A = this chain, B = another copy of it.
Amino acid sequence: MISKLPSESLTIMTELVLPNDTNVFGNLMGGRLMYWMDIAAALSAQKHCNAPVVTASVDNISFENPIKLGNVVHIEAKITRSFNTSMEIHLKVWGEDLTQQYKYKSNEAYYTFVALDPNRKPRPVPSVAPETPDEKKLFDGALRRRQLRLILGGKMHPDEAAELKALFVKD
C-alpha cells in the first residue's frame, strides 16, 4: 500500500451561521460547530483511505472566539498521520464577518477516524508522507497525541508513554 500526501486529503468547508445554530447571545453553539467539524474531518479521512470511516475520538477542543449569527465558518481539515487502521485529522476553524472584513480564529482540533471494510471491521489505510515543515511537525506530534489519547482512554499506562513523559520529566 503506497503512502499519500497530506495535501491530497485537504477538505475546505464553508458554512453560514443561521438562527437555529445560535445560543441566546446570537453566537454559534459549540455543539453545532463540532458537528460540522466532524463531517469535514470525516471527508478528509475518506479522501485519504477511499473507504467509509467512523469517528473514533476527538481531542481536547478549546473555543477561543465566538462566531456570530450571519458570520461565516471556515473549516480546513487535513490528515497528519495514520496508524495502521486509524487516521488523525487536523482541523483549523475560523469565523469571518464578511461585512466588517474581520477574520478570527475559533479553534484548532484533532479528530481520529477508523476505516472500515464491508464487514464493518477496521481495515489498513495508506501511510502519510508529510511534505512541508508544518506537515512534518504535525506528523511528529501525532505520536505524542496518540499516547495521550490512549492514556486518557485507559488503554495505556503513563509509564509506557515515552514521548509524552519527556514533556514532564527532564533529566
A residues within 8 Å of B by Cβ?
Answer: 11-16, 18-20, 22-25, 27, 29-32, 34-40, 42-43, 46-47, 50-52, 54-63, 66, 69-70, 72, 98-101, 111, 116, 120, 148-149, 152-153, 158-159, 161, 164-165, 167-169
Complex contact A62–B152 (CB within 8 A):
yes
A51 to chain B: closest residue by CB: B99
- The verdict on A19 contacting B16 (CB below 8 Å), with A58-B30, A98-B43 known, is no
Question: Which residues does chain B contribute within 8 Å of A99, judged by CB atoms?
Answer: 46, 50-52
Q: Judging by beta carbons under 8 Å apart, are B35 and A23 in contact?
A: no
In contact, A24 and B52 (Cβ under 8 angstroms): yes
C-alpha spacing A111/B58, complex, angstroms:
12
CA distance A98 to B23 in the complex (A): 14
Most chain B CB neighbours (cut-off 10 Å) among A23, A42, A100:
A23
By a CB distance below 8 angstroms, the chain B residues around A14 are 11-14, 40, 43
Minimum CB–CB distance for A126 against chain B, Å: 12
> B62 to A60, Cβ gap below 8 A?
no
Complex contact B43–A72 (CB within 8 A): yes
Smallest distance from the beta carbon of A147 to chain B beta carbons, Å? 11
- How far is B60's CA from A158's CA once the two chains are assembled, in angstroms? 16
Contacts of A153 in B (CB 8 A): 60, 62
> How far, in angstroms, from A92 to B159 measured CA to CA in the complex?
28
